[in-house]
Chains A and B, each alone.
Chain A
Amino acid sequence: MTDRLSALLHEQADLLDVPMPTAHEVITAGRRIRRRRRLTQAGVAAAVVAVLGVGAAFVGGAAPDRSDPDTIATDPQGEPVDLGVVFAVDDTVYLDGGAAEVKMPEVAQTLYYTSAGLLVRTNKTGDSDGGAPFHFQLVGADGKAQPLDLTLGEVVPSTDPTQPYLAYSEADGDGVRVIVVDVTTGEQVARVAVTGLTDWGGWIAPPVALDGDTVYVSDFSHALAVDWRTGEVVPAEHVSPGPPTVVRGRTIAPSDAAAQVVEVDSGDVLFESRGWLRLSPDGRYAIAGEGASGVPVQDLDDGTSVDVGKGSVTYGWTTDDQLVGIVDGQLAVCSPESGRCTTSPLPDGVSSDAFVRLPGFTYES
C-alpha cells in the first residue's frame, strides 16, 4: 500500500513555509495575458467565429462575445475509445485484432481515433486523388457504426484522439474557414475565418491538424494556429508550411538531415531523424524511418530508441501507442519499449497481400 507515502507527502506539504500570495501581481499578469491575446487577435488575422447554438458571428479582430460561456467552456479531454487493434480492408473495419468486424457502405479509406469512437472516412474507390465525395461513419464503443451527416471534398481533415471532434477547412471566393464538427452529432461547433492562405496545392482547401483547442492550418508558405474556441488566430511559428502534423504540442518539421520533432510552443528540437517521422497518438513516440534491422522507434520523453520487428514494415498505431502492422501475412502488434511483437492470423477472407489500412495514416497522396 502507498498509504504511508501519501500520508508523509501530506505531512511534508503541511509543514512547508507558504509565502504570502501576491494578488496584485497575479491580476496585473492576468491583465497582460488578456491584453496580449486581444492585440494578437486584432493584429494577425481577421476572424469570424460562429458558435452554433448561440448563433452569433463576429467579424474582425474582436474577441467573440459569448452569451452562453458554457457552450465553449473548456471541456475535459477524454481518452480515445478503445476498440482494440483496428484496421480496415476494403469496406470492412476490423476491431479487436479481427475478432469483430463492421461493414462500411463504401471503402474505408482513412481511420481516425477520437474520444467518441473510431471515425472512418469512406469513399467509392479508396483513392484520395479524385476520391471525392468522402463520407464518414463513427464506430462507437459498442462496435456499431453510425453515419455522420457530413460530406467532404478533397481536403485533409484531422482529429485529436482525446476529443470528439473533426476539423477541416473549406475555401471559396470569400476565403478560408476552419470548421470543427462534433462527430457524435454532426453539428458544427466552430467556424473560424482565416486570411493570408493562398497556395495549398491540389486540395480544395488547406490541410489542417487538430490538437486540443488549436487547429493548425497551413499553405505552402506559412502555418497558422487557430484557437477554435475563441477565434484567436496567430502565426504558428514552429509549424512548417505544408500539410501540418501536430500531436500534443509536437510537430514534424523538415531538417537538414531529413526530419525532426519540434515543440510547437518553444521551437525546441526533441529529435532529428535521417528518415521520415510519424508520431504516436499521444506524441510520446516517433517512428523514425526505416532500418535494416527493424523500424526505429524513438521515445521522445526518455530519449531512448528501439528497433521494432525485423525488416521494413509500415506500422500504424493503436490508441495506447503500440505499433500495428502486417508482417509475413500476419497481424503484428509491437511494443515501442521492448521492440518485441506478437502476431496473430489475419481474419478469414483477408489475403496476406491485401491493402490493409491502419490508424495513423492520412492516406493522402
Chain B
Amino acid sequence: MARQVSDEAFSEFVHGAWPGLYRTAYLLLGDAGLAEDLVQTALAKTYAAWPSVRDVQAAPGFARTTLLNTASSWFRKRSWRNEVPTSTLPEGHHHADFSDRPAVLDALSHLPPRQRAVVVLRYYEDLSVAETAHALGVSDGTVKSQTSKALDTLRGLLGDAVIPLTTGATHD
C-alpha cells in the first residue's frame, strides 16, 4: 500500500465504509449524532494511520477495529459508566410482537452501555466471546456475564419468542 493515500481514493473508501460503520455505531450508541461522531472519528484515525494499514483490503477491517476501540474508550470514561439506562421497563413491552421492529432498538436502550455493546458485537457483528472481549478490552468472563444479564433484560422486554431461555451459552 502507498505510504499515504490520495484524497480522492480515501473519499471513495469513506463512501464505501460509512454505511456499515454507521449502522454498527448507531446500534452501539443509540444516538444518531453520537454515531456520526464515532464513525467520523474512527475514519479520521484511519486516515492518520493509513501507512500502518497493511493493504487496501485490510482498510475496512482496520476502520471497524478503530471504531470499536474508540467506542470502547468512550465507554470507559466515567460519564459513560454513570449513564443509567431507563430504569423502569415500559409497560406493554413484555411479550412484544417481535415483528415490531422499533421494539428491538427500544429494548437495547434499556441496557447499560457495556451490555448493549456486548449484544451488538455478538449478535449483530457476530463476534465470538473472545473477539468481543478483545474489542471491548475486557475478559471473556465479563463478556459472558454481561451477555447473560443483557439477554435476561431483553427477554423480559421482547419475550421468549425472540430470546428463548436456552440462549447465551450456545453462541460462542
Task: With both chains docked as a complex, state the minimum distance between the C-beta of B24 and any C-beta of chain A, in angstroms.
Answer: 8
Chain B positions near chain A (C-beta within 8 angstroms): 1, 3, 7, 10-11, 14-15, 18-19, 22-24, 26-27, 32, 36, 39-41, 43-49, 51-54, 62, 73, 76-78, 81, 98, 101-102, 104-105, 114, 119-120, 122-124, 126, 130, 133-134, 137-142, 145, 151, 154, 158, 161-164, 166-168, 170-171
Task: With both chains docked as a complex, state the minimum distance between the C-beta of B72 and any C-beta of chain A, in angstroms.
Answer: 9
B44 contacts which chain A residues (CB < 8 A)? 26-27, 29-30, 32-33
How far apart sit A265 and B73, CA to CA, in the bound complex (Å)? Answer: 9
Task: With both chains docked as a complex, state the minimum distance between the C-beta of B8 and any C-beta of chain A, in angstroms.
Answer: 9
> Cβ of B23 and Cβ of A16 under 8 Å apart?
yes
B119 contacts which chain A residues (CB < 8 A)? 5
Contact of A12 among B47, B101, B161 (CB under 8 A): B101
B39 contacts which chain A residues (CB < 8 A)? 21
How far apart sit A11 and B99, CA to CA, in the bound complex (Å)? Answer: 10
Chain A positions near chain B (C-beta within 8 angstroms): 1-2, 4-6, 8-19, 21-27, 29-34, 37, 66, 69-70, 72-74, 76-77, 79, 162, 248-249, 263, 265-266, 268-270, 282-284, 301, 303, 320-321, 337
B114 contacts which chain A residues (CB < 8 A)? 301
Task: With both chains docked as a complex, state the minimum distance between the C-beta of B147 and any C-beta of chain A, in angstroms.
Answer: 9
Which residue of A27, A248, A249 has the most chain B CB atoms within 10 A of its CB atom? Answer: A27
Contact of A22 among B40, B102, B122, B167 (CB under 8 A): B40
> Cβ of A69 and Cβ of B1 under 8 Å apart?
yes
Task: With both chains docked as a complex, state the minimum distance between the C-beta of A299 and any C-beta of chain B, in angstroms.
Answer: 10
Given contacts A6-B126, A70-B54, contact A23 B1 (CB under 8 A): no
Which residue of B3, B76, B124, B151 has the most chain A CB atoms within 10 A of its CB atom? Answer: B76
A15 contacts which chain B residues (CB < 8 A)? 101
How far apart sit A305 and B171, CA to CA, in the bound complex (Å)? Answer: 29
How far apart sit A119 and B139, CA to CA, in the bound complex (Å)? Answer: 20
The residue on A at minimum CB distance from B16 is A21
Which residue of A21, A33, A79 has the most chain B CB atoms within 10 A of its CB atom? Answer: A21
How far apart sit A25 and B52, CA to CA, in the bound complex (Å)? Answer: 21
> Cβ of B123 and Cβ of A2 under 8 Å apart?
yes
> Cβ of B48 and Cβ of A284 under 8 Å apart?
no
The residue on A at minimum CB distance from B82 is A303
Nearest first, the 6 closest Cβ-Cβ pairs linking A and B are A30-B47, A29-B44, A21-B18, A23-B11, A33-B48, A13-B23
How far apart sit A303 and B123, CA to CA, in the bound complex (Å)? Answer: 26
> Cβ of A72 and Cβ of B139 under 8 Å apart?
no
> Cβ of A10 and Cβ of B51 under 8 Å apart?
no
The residue on B at minimum CB distance from A6 is B123
How far apart sit A11 and B78, CA to CA, in the bound complex (Å)? Answer: 32
> Cβ of B154 and Cβ of A5 under 8 Å apart?
yes
> Cβ of A282 and Cβ of B137 under 8 Å apart?
yes
B137 contacts which chain A residues (CB < 8 A)? 248-249, 282-283
B102 contacts which chain A residues (CB < 8 A)? 12
Task: With both chains docked as a complex, state the minimum distance between the C-beta of A248 and any C-beta of chain B, in angstroms.
Answer: 5
The residue on A at minimum CB distance from B54 is A73
> Cβ of A29 and Cβ of B40 under 8 Å apart?
yes
The residue on B at minimum CB distance from A268 is B78
The residue on B at minimum CB distance from A65 is B3
How far apart sit A22 and B39, CA to CA, in the bound complex (Å)? Answer: 10
Contact of A18 among B7, B18, B73 (CB under 8 A): B18
29 A–B contact pairs at CB < 8 A? A2-B163, A4-B162, A5-B123, A6-B123, A9-B120, A11-B101, A13-B27, A16-B22, A21-B18, A21-B39, A23-B15, A26-B14, A30-B44, A30-B48, A32-B44, A33-B45, A34-B48, A69-B3, A72-B52, A73-B53, A79-B134, A249-B76, A249-B137, A265-B73, A268-B77, A269-B78, A270-B81, A301-B81, A337-B145
